[in-house]
Structure 1
Amino acid sequence: MSQLSLGFQQRLQQLEPRRQQAFMAALCERMLPNYIFYIRGLYVDNSGQGDLHGLRVILDLVWEHLMVKGARIDFDLQAEKLSGLEPPVEDDSFGARRALEAVIAIAALLDTLGGEAPEAVLEVSRASRSGVRAFIEMTEGEEDARRLAERLRGHPLMEDEDDFQDAVLEAVEGQFDAGALKVLRRLGGNDGISNLGLTLD
């Protein structure tokens, strides 16, 4: 079933804010290797520049906020730091776009921590699926819209994405304490494999 089905969207939007944030954090965890893979290849290997850990630190603080009652974290400051971690605007490569998706997803998550952002949870869900779709289109070649839609539905990466988002949603709808959040974080980490199937050493 498509993750953009009405029932899935309704379930996401009916979650209380902290459960929505946990859902988004798990999806961000799974997109994070795409960002690190891009930064490592573009900057570190070539010029020694780039920040491999900036997004990791921000996401760690989100998990701390979710798991530690009363944790005091300045998420406005983290949002400022996040804006400096975006890929260069002049880079329109596939890797840069997937890295930007990870940044945008974490930005949407931070928006919910700073105030009302009712569409953020849907934005993060769509961002993760969008990256998978783009990867399939790039690797499988261009086709007409009908054939592409059929191929996307049956592609292992898209099926894995659907199953993953279903599993995360079911997890956040259930028990919601520190122990459950630790399990959810491990689920999001996905053994270091991103939603595109990329694995970091």
Structure 2
Amino acid sequence: MSQASGGFHQRLQRLEPRRQQAFMAVLCERLLPNYVLYAQTSGYGDPHGWRVILDLVWERLVVHDAKIDFERQAEKLAELEPPADDDSFGARRALEAVVALSALLDTLRGEAPEAVLEVSRTSKGGVRAFIELTEGEEDAGRLAALVRDHPLMADENDFQDAVLEAVEGSLDRDAVKLLRRLGRNGGVSNLGLSMD
């Protein structure tokens, strides 16, 4: 895989900002079910509000001169974070969705050269945490191998590879629509969780 060779991060960083934003938007789209499930089980959060903000990002990707106040969107997003004192697994995954979208908004508000790597790592970090939680392996070496070889991690790496390849190609209106569908991933998140 291109990720193992170390070329993946370089390719991500070489992308022009709009392509990086498209990459991040796809990953955010795929993180949404984690946020929704947390909101449904905890009663905290606002999936609709989160969705509206990401929809505005997609709009900007299609209509370059769309007048959108991303400063204001970032303020709204900050209000959608899980409560700081909720340290549950679900809250941490919901926070990842907020952090990823926040990093994406940072790029739309100005310079944020590391944002694309942050979003990539955030999505992978959630998968790693999920595997660690479900496998319950104490030995660090065995756990690292489990994470590396786990089907969910393989799926995450393959997914990010596919998204990177897609954003390196055409980014016309139809391509952006296809990217959005790719991110929706049939309603299944990076953790293999579904909203239904």
**What range describes the TM-score normalised by the shorter chain of this pair?**
over 0.9
Contact 2:107/2:115 (<8 A) preserved = yes
User: What's the TM-score once normalised by structure 1's chain length?
Assistant: 0.94
**For 1:23 and 1:3, how far apart are their aligned partners in 2?**
15
- Picking from 101, 112, 115, the partner of 2:96 is 101
The verdict on how the C-alpha distance between 1:2 and 1:142 changes in structure 2, with shifts beyond 3 A counting, is farther
The correspondence of residues 1-201 of structure 1 with structure 2, limited to 5 A, is 1=1, 3=3, 6-43=6-43, 50-201=45-196
Contact 1:2/1:162 (<8 A) preserved = no
User: What's the TM-score once normalised by structure 2's chain length?
Assistant: 0.97
**For 2:89 and 2:112, how far apart are their aligned partners in 1?**
28
Contact 2:2/2:161 (<8 A) preserved = no
Contact 2:45/2:82 (<8 A) preserved = no
**Could you list the runs of 5+ residues in structure 1 that have no partner in the other structure?**
44-48
The verdict on how the C-alpha distance between 1:171 and 1:2 changes in structure 2, with shifts beyond 3 A counting, is closer
**For 2:2 and 2:91, how far apart are their aligned partners in 1?**
26
- How many pairs are equivalent? 196
**For 2:64 and 2:45, how far apart are their aligned partners in 1?**
33
**For 1:5 and 1:68, how far apart are their aligned partners in 2?**
35
Identity of counterpart residues, as a percentage? 73
**Could you list the runs of 5+ residues in structure 2 that have no partner in the other structure?**
none
CA RMSD of aligned residues (A): 1.3
Shift, 1:170, TM fit? 0.1
